[in-house]
Chains A and B, each alone.
Chain A
Amino acid sequence: MSKVFIAFQLNEDTRPIIEAVLADNPHAVANESPAMVKIDAEGQLVIKRESIEELIGRDFDLQELQINLITISGHLDEDDDEFKLSWLN
């Protein structure tokens, strides 16, 4: 298995996103550096719109991730409900 990762700036907007990602992906590991967090995961990482909406109490558009996104690694498969990183091999 190979690793995928995603890195976010650390601020009030990304706190619920990070919380949702870690809850939905128990195998993921968050590494905090100053002002950013990098989330590593074996195999795949899924970000679910619904989980984020539950935490913030309003409608969320997955495109809002992009505002605070630093970098990703992996093959990206996204639709309106899920933002999924994996390696297809």
Chain B
Amino acid sequence: MEIDLRTVAIKPLRHTFDHIVRRFGDKPASRYQEGTYDIQQTDIFHYRPMWEPELQLFDKRRTKVQMKDWYALKDPRQFYYGAWTIARSRQQDAAESSFDMIEERGLADIVPEEIKQTALAVLVPLRHVEWGGNMGNSYISAYGYGTAITQPCLYHAMDHLAVAQYLTRIGLVLDGPEALDSAKDAWMEAAMWQPMRQHVENVLVVQDWFEIFVAQNLVLEGLTYPLIYDYLDGDFSANGGTVISMMTRFMGEWSAETAKWVDAQIKVAAAESAENKALITDWVKQYRPLVLAALAPIARRAFGDQAETVLAEVTAQFNARCTKAGLSV
């Protein structure tokens, strides 16, 4: 008996889903495209939400920002669930190995006392600010419109919990479980934290989801993260607190990465229409002074008499970032 081997080329009849074909043409689509575009439910709702009967369950009117195509707000990182979890798990492995090394060798004991106290006073209470970030982004993913923006906002919400956990661990490593109680007390009682607490609580009750995106992801994070994970971190490293930098590495990397995503959203939304641009610009102008006022006492604790200089530099960088994203702030 003779056997002939031959290869048979089978042409696939379909490259991807029909709705993806309508958007991008009949060719193989990326996972990100298949997991993102036109997934938002648009009709066949059985009933209106009882708590808001004037709107549909998913409704474009939940924000003043208007887009012809909400899917224009795409994620430059192209995160779908798989890509995002893989990226974060790599970062978590790196962070875990840093923490392991610090705990095994008792490296926290060699941090100068003054640096340690600053880290405990400034970093650990920030976990409550992170919780606000989690709440805001969860709200966006619940009430926002279009998977292109609601999907990365949910990832962003979860990332905030990760940051809060790292801040918690920093407290545990430096000072044990008491660090968390004193941070909570500071958040609730200390004069230094009350403006920030008030601001975070105010953002919790904002209704317009795109306004939350601007207030939280652009303004609050855009001013706070450079201040803490760039300037303050540099001070720690320069004065013998490299151990703390090892523990905040994820936050530094993550805030740089997410800033690119936030900027891309603002850029697209502002370029869509003069109304959007004016709206977002006004929000930035509204929230910037509030955040700066909330950061002022924290900066004074962190940088002493350098606080105003540092805040001015951070603000200048932030304004340049907004201008680059097409806002006139």
Contacts and interface: CB of A to CB of B under 8 A. Distances in A.
Partners in one complex: yes
Interface of A: 12, 15-16, 32-34, 56-58
Contacts of B10: 34
Interface in B41-87: 75-78
6 smallest beta-carbon distances between A and B, as pairs: A57-B78, A57-B76, A57-B77, A34-B9, A34-B7, A15-B28
Contacts of B77: 57-58
Contacts of A57: 75-78
Nearest to B9: A34
B31 interface: yes
B78 A56 contact: yes
Best-buried of A16, A32, A34, A58 by chain B (most CB within 10 Å): A58
B19 to A, nearest CB: 19
A24 B118 CA distance: 53
A12 B31 CA distance: 8
Nearest to B87: A58
B30 interface: yes
19 contacts: A12-B30, A12-B31, A15-B28, A15-B30, A16-B30, A32-B9, A33-B7, A33-B9, A34-B7, A34-B8, A34-B9, A34-B10, A56-B78, A57-B75, A57-B76, A57-B77, A57-B78, A58-B77, A58-B78
Q: Is the interface of A mostly helix, strand, loop or mixed?
A: mixed
Interface residues of B, number: 11
A34 B10 CA distance: 7
Nearest to B79: A57
Contacts of B7: 33-34
A33 B8 CA distance: 9
Contacts of A33: 7, 9
B21 to A, nearest CB: 16
A32 B9 CA distance: 9
A82 B76 CA distance: 22
A32 B10 CA distance: 10
B46 to A, nearest CB: 37
Contacts of B76: 57
Nearest to A16: B30
A14 to B, nearest CB: 11
Interface string B7-26: 11110000000000000000
A45 B296 CA distance: 56
A56 B8 CA distance: 31
Contacts of A16: 30
Given A12-B30, A34-B7, 10 more contacts: A15-B30, A16-B30, A32-B9, A33-B7, A33-B9, A34-B8, A57-B75, A57-B76, A58-B77, A58-B78
B102 to A, nearest CB: 28
Nearest to A19: B27
A53 to B, nearest CB: 10
